[in-house]
Structure 1
Amino acid sequence: MERTVAPPPAPAVVAPVPSVPTFSGPVLAPDGSCTGPVPTVASAIEPGIGECELVRLKGKPATDVLVGEGRSGREVQVLYSEPGSKELYFFVNNRLDRIVK
Structure 2
Amino acid sequence: MSEPKRQSIWDNLNNTKLVRYVLLFVLAWAIVQVLAYFSSIIITFTFATIFAFLLNFPVRWFSRVMPRSLAVFLVFSLGLLILVAMVATLLPSRRKTTE
Q: TM-score, normalised by structure 1?
A: 0.20
Which one has the largest radius of gyration? 2
Larger relative strand fraction: 1
Larger relative helix fraction: 2
Q: TM-score, normalised by structure 2?
A: 0.20
Q: Which has the higher contact order (CA 8 A, sep 6+)?
A: 1
